Every structure is written in C-alpha cells, then in structure tokens.
Amino acid sequence: MDDSRYALRDFRESDLEPYAALYKAIVRDQPISAATFRAEWELQRGVPNPWPWFSVDERSSHRLVAVAGLVRNLFQADPLRPWIFGDVDPDHVHQGIGTHLYERVLSVAGEGGATGLRCTVRGDHSAALAFLAHRGFVERRRSWVSALDLASADTSALPMLTAKLSHEGIELTTLEREGPERDDVFRGLYDLALVTGGDVPRVGAFTPPTYEEYRRLQLGGPSFHPDSWMLAKEGDRYVGVSSAGTDAADPGVLHQWYTATRSEFRGRKVAETLKLRLIDFARKRGYVRITTANDSLNQPMWSLNQRLGFHKISERIHTEKVFDPVG
C-alpha cells in the first residue's frame, strides 16, 4: 500500500454509511444497509474485550476505500478464533490495501492471543478465495443461500397442518402476540435457542451467548419485526421457532433467520408449519422473496427448504487458518 496515497486508521461510526455503499459496490445482489452494519458494530462494541476494526482512506479525496476487522460470532464464539472480514473498493484493488489491512488485523489477533482466524467468503468471489488461500486459510464448511419466490409458493397444506398441531395441543403464535418486551417470553426463546443450537452444523463448537447478548442480538436494529417470528408453544413452553427480519437495502426480501424445533417434538411437522406460516405472512405483507442460509450438511433443514420450493442462489465458504503454535 502506498502510504503517500492511502492512510490506515481506526474505524469510526461515521464510516458506517460509506461502508454500506462500498459493500454494495462489491456485493450487488445481496446488499447490506448502513443500519444493519450499525447494529452489528454496536453489538460487537458491547462484547467484553471487543476486537478492533480498521479503515483506509484515500488521502486526496478523504474517501473511505477499505474496511477490515475482527468479530465475535455469538453462537460459535471461541474467543481465540475470531472471524476476520475485509472489503476493498473495486476502484482501489491491486494496490496492496487488502494485504496491508490483513497484516494489521493479523497482528492484533496475535497480540490478543488468537490461535487462528476464521473467514466467510462467497463461493463466486474467486479473488477473495485466492487471497485467503495464499495466506493459509483452508475450507472448513459451506453454507448455501437459497431463495423462495413467493409468487409461486404453495401454502395449501397450512390449514390441515395447523389443525393437526392444534389437535396435538400445540398452539401457533407470534412473538408480537406473546409480547417482545416481556422478559419471560425472551427467556423462553433463549432456552429454545440453547437446547437446539448444538444441533446446527457449524464451524467449531456451539458456544451459546449469554442471555443479555442473545436479547441484544435479537432486538438490535431496525430489521427486528416481532410479527415475523412464528412460534409453536405447548403450555408455557416454546417448542418451535421460525424467525425472520428485513434489511432496508433490499426491502422486497424477508430474511429467514432461525428455524428450530425441540428435539422431542421433531418429525411432527412443527418446523414445516412454522415456515409455511412465515411464507403466508410474507406474501400477505407484499414481500417478493424469502432468503435463507443453511450449512450444506444440514440435511433436515435443506430437505424441508427444498420441499417448500427454495432454490440455491449462492454459496458461502467458511475458511479457517490455524496459527503455527511455535511461530
């Protein structure tokens, strides 16, 4: 990187808007709004010992041209294996900026005691994959992003499935109806996340967030809509969830977040019914599409999604670099 042309500094709040624009120039078909970046940034600032983020400006224009940093994934939060991210403006690639940022981030990771780094990259971003491969990152997992076009979705089984679950004593509700402000409701959902989270295939082990982190993660940001959280309940206990949210950068799309059924209730069509309810809700609200991302080894979820009409649109590759224990 030419220091006379570019300057590296700490990331700051005012970078969030230009970062969202920069990101959109790279990932045109799945943009992320500044509001979503803000929610993530605030979430990361709130964890103990937050990792730093860095920015690079072009000196002549004072324009933000690159961002990189480390984050803690709250559900696989091995503190010694943080996740690295980095984006360079397409007009400023091949200037050594990515390498410069990477080396800075690598050095703070080492100083912070990290034993390795993890990084997620899109399967069609061959330059990013090559960048990581040259630096010792190897593929650990893949996840598939899939989409359901709501115009062609078939929800005709919903009345029959709703009646079946009702007959079995399972009530269908939403977070909006339950009361998103109620602590007991959120504690029930947290419990469901804890007992099901270990069954989701992922890189590394499932490390549950604290209750406070879980609450902040779910309630954080403008993408949270309690009416798009479909819940199944037996008595006072939540037995299934299928949640979703939005991003202002792509308003026609509802992003499916987490679907899970307590193990003792699996195989009874709880997840299928909740997902069909979400599809029905999304269509009535005028969304065009639902998207979701699932680990390629998550056969139960992938089978269900295919059955509902989801089709694969892109792939994410999860890579890892383990530091040499001697060096």
Ligand X SMILES: CC(C)(COP(=O)(O)OP(=O)(O)OC[C@H]1O[C@@H](n2cnc3c(N)ncnc32)[C@H](O)[C@@H]1OP(=O)(O)O)[C@@H](O)C(=O)NCCC(=O)NCCS
- Where is 60: in which H helix or E strand? none
- Amino acid making up residue 127: A
Total chain residues near ligand X (CB under 6 A): 22
For residue 261, state whether it binds ligand X (rule: CB under 6 A). yes
Residues 239, 261: contact at Cβ < 8 Å?
yes
Residues 276, 155: contact at Cβ < 8 Å?
yes
Question: Would you call 159 exposed, middle or buried from its count of C-beta atoms within 10 A (0-12, 13-18, 19+)?
Answer: exposed
Q: From the list 272, 279, 291, 319, which residue makes contact with ligand X (rule: CB under 6 A)?
A: 272
DSSP 17: H
Q: How far is CA 55 from CA 14, 216, 237, 264, 283, in A?
A: 11, 26, 46, 48, 40
For residue 1, state whether it binds ligand X (rule: CB under 6 A). no
For residue 271, state whether it binds ligand X (rule: CB under 6 A). yes
For residue 299, state whether it binds ligand X (rule: CB under 6 A). yes
Closer to ligand X at the Cβ: 95 or 242? 242
Stretch that binds ligand X, among 87-95, 105-113, 127-135, 292-300 (CB under 6 A): 292-300
Residues 159 to 218 in contact with ligand X, rule: CB under 6 A: 196, 199-200
How far apart are CB 264 and ligand X at their closest, in Å?
A: 10
For residue 54, state whether it binds ligand X (rule: CB under 6 A). no
Q: From the list 63, 304, 315, 323, which residue makes contact with ligand X (rule: CB under 6 A)?
A: 304
How far apart are CB 282 and ligand X at their closest, in Å?
A: 16
For residue 269, state whether it binds ligand X (rule: CB under 6 A). yes
Closer to ligand X at the Cβ: 95 or 292? 292
Rounded distance, CA 307 to CA 279, Å? Answer: 13
- Amino acid making up residue 165: L
Structure tokens at 281: 């809700």
For residue 301, state whether it binds ligand X (rule: CB under 6 A). yes
Question: Would you call 163 exposed, middle or buried from its count of C-beta atoms within 10 A (0-12, 13-18, 19+)?
Answer: exposed
For residue 7, state whether it binds ligand X (rule: CB under 6 A). no
Closer to ligand X at the Cβ: 196 or 246? 196
For residue 259, state whether it binds ligand X (rule: CB under 6 A). yes
Q: Which residue has the tokens 């979400």?
A: 278
Structure tokens at 166: 């009702």
Structure tokens at 314: 């892109």
How far apart are CB 171 and ligand X at their closest, in Å?
A: 15
Q: How many CB atoms lie within 10 A of CB 298?
A: 17
How far apart are CB 19 and ligand X at their closest, in Å?
A: 27
Residues 87, 23: contact at Cβ < 8 Å?
yes
Stretch that binds ligand X, among 29-37, 68-76, 268-276, 281-289 (CB under 6 A): 268-276
How far apart are CB 203 and ligand X at their closest, in Å?
A: 14
List of residues contacting ligand X (CB under 6 A)? 196, 199-200, 258-261, 266-272, 294, 298-301, 303-304, 307
